[in-house]
Structure 1
Amino acid sequence: MDRQDFIALLSPEGQALLEKVGPLEAKTDVVQLVSKLRAGGSDPSLVAAVLTQAKLRRQAKAKFGPFADRMLFTEAGLEQASRLNVAALHADRFRKAGIDDVADLGCGIGAESLALASLDIKVHSFELDEVTAAIATYNLAPFDNAEVQQADVTEIDLSKFGALFLDPARRELGGPNRERATRKFDPAAFSPSFDFVLAAAAQKPTGVKFGPGHPHEGIPDNAEAQWVSVGGNLVELTLWFGSLARPNIKRSALLITADAKHEITSDSTERLDAELGELEEFVYEPDNAVIRSHLLGQLAQSIGAHIFSPEIAYLTAANEIKSPWLKGYRVLENLAFDRKKLKAYLRERGIGILEIKKRGSDVVPEELRKELAPKGKGAATLIVTRVGDAHRVLVCEALK
C-alpha cells in the first residue's frame, strides 16, 4: 500500500466502500465485483485498494479473529505480525512483571501494541515506515493508552520507558517492491540491527521476537529463549531479558492448541540428545518447537521414547503414546528405498492416497509422488528417512 492508497481508504468514500464490500470471501468473483463497483461510479484505484484490504482482512482472521474486520493491513505487515493470541501471552509477561509502560519499537501494523493496550499498559509505538505507522495509528485508535510515532527507533531515548518490545524487520520494507520484499535471515541485516537489540536489552526489561530459525549461537546467555508453536505451526522465537525472563529457565518450547497451552522447559542452554535405539512399532513426529529448541531429549525422556538414527528428529517406541507434542504412526513395513519396488508395492496393495514425509533425505515429496503415480482407494503415510545408517522408507498408518 502506498501513501495515496491509504489516504483514499480513510476518505468517506473509501470507508463507505470498505463497509459495502465487507469480507472478501475466497470464492468471490473478483472480476465481476470490480466491474460492478466501477459501474456504480467508484474510482478504479480506490476499488483496487478496497479489494486488497478486503482480501487482507479475510487472510488476517487466522491471526486476529473478528478484530480483523476493523483493521487495515499491508501484505508484509500482516505476514510479520504476531498472532493475537501469541501477542496476548507476550503482553501478559509484562503485566506479571509489574510493568505498566512499554515502548513497542518497530510496531509494524500494531499487533503487539494492541495486546499490550488491552491490558491497560501504556504503549508507546514507533515505526519507521510512514504508511505502516499510519496503519498502526488507525488500528490502535480505540485505545487512549496507545500512541504511535513515525521514528527511527535507533534515535530514540529509551531510558524514559519502563520496558521494551522489539520485532526487528526481517525483510526489506522500503522502495517500490515493499509488498514483494524478501525475508532476511542474517541477524546483522535486521532493522534495527542485532547489536542495537542487545544494547537495548541491557538497559531495560525487554522482549524480542525473531523468526524461529534464529540460530542458537545467536542467543545471549542472559536471555530466556522460547519457541512458540500454534496448533503445530512453529511461528516464532522470543527472547526475554531482565525481569521478563523467568528464573531457572533458559530454553522452552510452548505449544498453543485450541483448548490448552503445553510447555517443555530447561534450565540449561546445553542440548540434551535423545537416546539412540532400534526402530520400534510406532514412530512419532515431534512438534517443531521441540526440535528447534533442542528439547527433544527432554521430551523423549518424559515419554519413554528414543531416536532410531543419529541427528534425525523422529522418535520411536514399542507402545502407542498420546501427547499433544506428537503425531504418531504405526509402522507397517520397513523397506529399502527403491523407487521401482516401492511403486510396485503400492500398486499391489491399491494404495492411492499418500502422505509423504521425509527427514535426512534429499527426496522431494511432490516429485516422488509423481514417480510413484499412486492409484487406488487405500491410504498410507510414507516416511522417507534413515534407520540407523540406511536409507529406508517406512510405510505407516497414522494414529487417530
Structure 2
Amino acid sequence: MDTENFDALLTDEGRQLLDEVRGLTPNAELAAATRLRRAHPPELVSAAIGQERLRQRARAKFGADAERMFFTPDGVEQATRSSVADLRAARFAALGVRRLADLCGGIGGDAIALARAGISVLAVDRDPLTCAVAAANAAALGLADRIEVRRADVTETDTSGFDAVFTDPARRGARGRIFDPEAYSPPLSWAIGAGRSARFGALKVAPGIPHEAVPEDAEAEWVSDGGDVKEAVLWFGTGAEHPHRATLLPGGHTLTGGRLPDVAAGPVRRYLYEPDGAVIRAHLVAETAELLGDATLLDPHIAYLTSDTLTRTPFATPYEITDVLPFNVKKLRALVRERQLGTLTIKKRGFAVEPDELRKKLRPEGVNSAVIVLTRIGTAPMMLLGRGLPV
C-alpha cells in the first residue's frame, strides 16, 4: 500500500468500506471483494480488506483500539504492545516529563501511550506512509492535539527543549533480524548519545543485548508480559541505584539489583522455581533466590532454583517435585502410562530434546496431569516430575 491508497481510506468512501469489511473472515474475503468492486474502485476495496486483516492481527497488541487504528504490515509487527507502552509512558510521566521526542516513532504505538499519560509528543519517522498512518492514528483516538508527527531523519532532528528523548531503532533489515547493535537504524551508539542529550532518555533494544554492551551510566530494564520477554530498554538520567531492572506485566511487578554474588548450587529439593524470563535476562536470579529465602540452584549454569519451602513471588513460578530421575525415555513413558497422565507440561533448560518430539514418544493418555522438567545437573541429563501449584 502506498500513501495515495492509504489517503483514500481516510475519505468518506474509504471509511464506509472499512465499516463494511469489519469482522470479515478469510473465507468470505473473495465473495466480499467481488461484491464491493461493483460499486467501488478495486484498489480501494483491496486496501480496505487489507486494512481489516491488519486490524485483526493488531488486536493482540492494541485491544479494542485496533478497530479504530490504521496499520502497515511492518507497523503491526514492530509496534510496541499497548501494555508495555503504557508502562513506559507512566514512568516518563512519574519522572515529570511533559514534552518528549519519540524518534523512530513508527505507526504511533508509543506516542499514543505517552499522549494518554499527559505528555506532548513529537513523533519522528522518515517513511512517508508510516508518518501518514501515525497521524491518522492520533486523530482516530482523539490525540492529535498532543501528538505532532514529523517526517524527517531522526539523526537530523533537533531535540533541544524536550524533557526526554525516546528512541526505538529499527532492528530488522531486508534479511531479517539484526543482531549487531551498530547495524541498527540508527546505530546503537548514536541512539545512546540521543538518550543522554535530554534530562531523561530511553532507548529500546533487543532483549538479548549483551550486558557488556550496556553503558555504565544506563539502567537496563527487561520487560515481560504474560511470561514472554517483550523488550529491553536502556534508561538515562533516572539516577537508579541498581543497574538492572526486571518488570513483569500484568501487574507491573519490578525487581531491581544486579550486584549480588552468584547463588550456590545444591541438591533437588521439594520445590522447583522457574524465574521469569525478564528476571533471567536481567541477571537477577540471585535477587530472586534471596526473596525465596534458602533457595539454591540446581546447576551453577542453569536458572532453576530449588527450596524446601514454598514461597510465593511474582518473579518465579513454583512446582512441587515428586520424582528426580536420570533422563530415560522408556522409563518416562512407563511413568506416564502408569500414572495415567494425559496432560503434560514439558519444560526444558540446558537440554537438547524438543518437547513436542518427546510428547509424541510418550503418548500421554489419561485423566491426570503433570509437569516434566528436563535439565542438566553437572554433566548428567535429568528429568524432574512434579505438579503445578495453584496461584
Q: Deviations over 1:327-362 (max 9, x none)?
A: 221112111111222223322333232211100111
Task: Spell out the pairing of 1:128-167 with structure 2 (5 A cutoff).
Answer: 128-141=126-139, 142=142, 143-167=144-168
1:271 deviates by: 5.9
1:318 deviates by: 1.1
Instruction: Measure, in 2, the Cα distance between the counterparts of 1:82 and 1:32.
Output: 30
Provide closer, same or farther for how the CA distance between residues 92 and 125 of structure 1 changes in structure 2, counting only shifts above 3 A: same
Instruction: Measure, in 1, the Cα distance between the counterparts of 2:360 and 2:260.
Output: 39
User: 2:191 is paired with a residue of what secondary structure?
Assistant: helix
1:43 deviates by: 4.3
Residue 321 (structure 2) aligned to one of 306, 316, 331: 331
Give ranges in structure 2 of 5+ residues lacking alignment. none
1:44 deviates by: 4.3
1:13 deviates by: 2.5
Partner of 1:247 in structure 2?
240
Task: Spell out the pairing of 1:41-80 with structure 2 (5 A cutoff).
Answer: 41=38, 42-80=40-78
- Please say if residues 288 and 316 of structure 2, whose CA atoms lie closer than 8 Å, have aligned partners that are also in contact: no
- The one-letter amino acid of 1:206's match is G
Aligned length: 383
Residue 383 (structure 2) aligned to one of 377, 393, 397: 393
Give ranges in structure 1 of 5+ residues lacking alignment. none
Provide closer, same or farther for how the CA distance between residues 145 and 356 of structure 1 changes in structure 2, counting only shifts above 3 A: same
Matched, 1:316 2:316: no
RMSD between superposed Cα atoms in Å: 2.0
Instruction: Measure, in 1, the Cα distance between the counterparts of 2:261 and 2:107.
Output: 39
User: 1:333 is paired with a residue of what secondary structure?
Assistant: strand
Matched, 1:261 2:261: no
- The one-letter amino acid of 2:159's match is L
Instruction: Measure, in 2, the Cα distance between the counterparts of 1:10 and 1:130.
Output: 16
Partner of 2:360 in structure 1?
370
Provide closer, same or farther for how the CA distance between residues 272 and 289 of structure 1 changes in structure 2, counting only shifts above 3 A: farther
User: 1:158 is paired with a residue of what secondary structure?
Assistant: coil
Partner of 2:222 in structure 1?
227
Partner of 2:262 in structure 1?
273
- Please say if residues 23 and 57 of structure 1, whose CA atoms lie closer than 8 Å, have aligned partners that are also in contact: no
Residue 31 (structure 1) aligned to one of 9, 27, 31: 27
TM-score under structure 1 length normalisation:
0.90
- Please say if residues 33 and 46 of structure 2, whose CA atoms lie closer than 8 Å, have aligned partners that are also in contact: no
Provide closer, same or farther for how the CA distance between residues 345 and 22 of structure 1 changes in structure 2, counting only shifts above 3 A: same
- Please say if residues 167 and 195 of structure 2, whose CA atoms lie closer than 8 Å, have aligned partners that are also in contact: no
Instruction: Measure, in 1, the Cα distance between the counterparts of 2:95 and 2:265.
Output: 41
- The one-letter amino acid of 2:92's match is F
- Please say if residues 271 and 294 of structure 1, whose CA atoms lie closer than 8 Å, have aligned partners that are also in contact: no
1:70 deviates by: 0.9
User: 2:124 is paired with a residue of what secondary structure?
Assistant: strand
Which moved further from structure 2: 232-241 or 364-373? Answer: 364-373
Partner of 2:172 in structure 1?
171
Provide closer, same or farther for how the CA distance between residues 182 and 137 of structure 1 changes in structure 2, counting only shifts above 3 A: same
User: What percentage of residue pairs aligned between the two structures are identical?
Assistant: 43
Q: Deviations over 1:75-108 (max 9, x none)?
A: 3212221222322232233323333221110001
Instruction: Measure, in 2, the Cα distance between the counterparts of 1:290 and 1:237.
Output: 12
User: 2:134 is paired with a residue of what secondary structure?
Assistant: helix
